[in-house]
Amino acid sequence: NLSTVSEFVFVGLSDAPEIRLLLFVLFLLIYLATMAGNITLLVAISTDSHLHSPMYFFLSNLSLLDLLCPTITVPKMLGALLLENREISFAGCLFQHFSLIAVVGTEIFLLTVMAYDRYVAVCHPLRYLSVVSTKLCAQLAVGTWAAGLLNSLLHTSLVFTLSFCGPNKIQQYYCDIPPVLALSCSSTHSRQLVILVVAGVLGGSACMVTVVSYIYILLEILSRSSPGIWHKAFSTCGSHLTVVGLFYGTTICTYVRPSFTYSPHRDRVVSMLYGMLTPLLNPIIYSLRNKEVKCALKRVIIQV
């Protein structure tokens, strides 16, 4: 690594003091609401015996990821808005990049596992607890986190072993792949291709498993003639489908595309969708569409 850059500087969201203060208050409120929502959901799942099932075990992992994702990026952004402290060391940028890609990758794999869980619940309800056993849940959870970490290790090594010897202004509010690659004074074409292929293969495979799971679910629903089957299936799968659509839509727009389509302003907006709004909306989506979660949340709030 022939890097001479010792620190990077984030480009601010706004140079106007009054706009910066408004953005600080807005993003702080979103961040605090995200923390409160996901922590409350975690407490509800851990304390309510009715929610001690595979579905809610995976949901608790999702809530943990939704706590980590904004915590990796938002505090630094808030500091830049309030104190204009936009600098981050090379090592700090590397760590932030590794942590964020690990969380995003883990969430992709976890949503895939949750799709398989929904498939078993709808298509094999009588065998559900024997198929999705406690041991399998633990193995799948460990596997998703390990896969996310290994994926991040690959991407981080590809990006941060490049040479950085020129401009150091990152056109983003955190250390992401496209804006950091844009600052390298090395040739990045081969590494961009590897990153695109790896992201496409892993993301495409995860998406394919999710799609196939829901195709089987749809076929199972169509083969039954019992009353209320559509409503029951939607209550079982609707929340997961909504979260998957929201998460995949924003992450694909950010990562699975050629570098020449990179647009700093557009990418800042898209990254805020999956980095801030998605973690905020996930507990809301699951609580609104699930009676058991709503009851558990009411009990937690009453006890508080």
Per-domain boundaries in the chain: 7-303
Whether domain 7-303 has CATH 1.10.10.10: the reply is no
What's the whole-model pTM score?
A: 0.86
CA 254, CA 266: separation in Å to the nearest integer?
9
Note the pLDDT of residue 289.
Answer: 63
Token pair belonging to 144 = 């998703």
Note the pLDDT of residue 259.
Answer: 54
| Whether the predicted pLDDT of 49 surpasses 50 | yes
Q: How many CB atoms within 10 Å of residue 16? A: 10
Instruction: Kindly state the helix (H) or strand (E) to which residue 89 belongs, with its residue range.
Output: strand 87-89
Token pair belonging to 123 = 């298509």
Note the pLDDT of residue 1.
Answer: 46
CA 123, CA 127: separation in Å to the nearest integer?
9
| Whether the predicted pLDDT of 250 surpasses 90 | no
Beta bridge mates, 87: 9
User: What's the mean pLDDT in 280-286?
Assistant: 83
User: What's the mean pLDDT in 23-37?
Assistant: 92
Q: Residue with structure tokens 């083969």?
A: 223
Q: What is residue 1's DSSP assignment?
A: -
Q: Which amino acid is present at 274? A: Y
Beta bridge mates, 170: 10
Note the pLDDT of residue 157.
Answer: 93
pLDDT in tens, 96-123: 999 999 998 999 999 999 999 989 988 8
CB-count exposure of residue 48 (10 Å: 0-12, 13-18, 19+): middle
Q: Evaluate whether 49 touches 71 at the Cβ level (below 8 Å).
A: no
Half-sphere exposure of 41 (CA within 13 A, CB side): 30
Q: pLDDT above 70 covers what percent of the chain?
A: 85
CA 172, CA 214: separation in Å to the nearest integer?
36
pLDDT in tens, 148-161: 999 999 999 999 98
Q: Residue 238: which of 104, 139, 114 has the closest Cα?
A: 114
Q: How far is CA 21 from the centre of its chain?
A: 27
| Whether the predicted pLDDT of 25 surpasses 80 | yes
Instruction: Kindly state the helix (H) or strand (E) to which residue 10 belongs, with its residue range.
Output: strand 7-10
More confident residue, 249 or 200: 200
Give the CA distances from residue 143 to residues 14, 62, 159, in Å, rounded to whole numbers and listed in that order.
41, 14, 24
Q: Residue 160: which of 66, 257, 92, 230 has the closest Cα?
A: 92
Residues 6+ apart with CB under 8 A from 110: 58, 61, 62, 65, 141, 144
Note the pLDDT of residue 299.
Answer: 77
Q: Evaluate whether 267 touches 16 at the Cβ level (below 8 Å).
A: no
- Adjacency order of strands within the sheet including 169-170: 87-89, 7-10, 169-170
pLDDT range class, residue 132, cuts 50, 70, 90:
very high
More confident residue, 256 or 22: 22
CA 250, CA 231: separation in Å to the nearest integer?
28
More confident residue, 276 or 137: 137
Largest Cα span, the chain: 68
User: What's the mean pLDDT in 29-53?
Assistant: 89
User: What's the mean pLDDT in 162-190?
Assistant: 86
- Mean pLDDT over each residue of the chain, to the nearest integer: 84
| Whether the predicted pLDDT of 219 surpasses 70 | yes
Half-sphere exposure of 145 (CA within 13 A, CB side): 11
Helices 17-47 and 291-303 sit at what angle, rounded to 10 degrees? 100
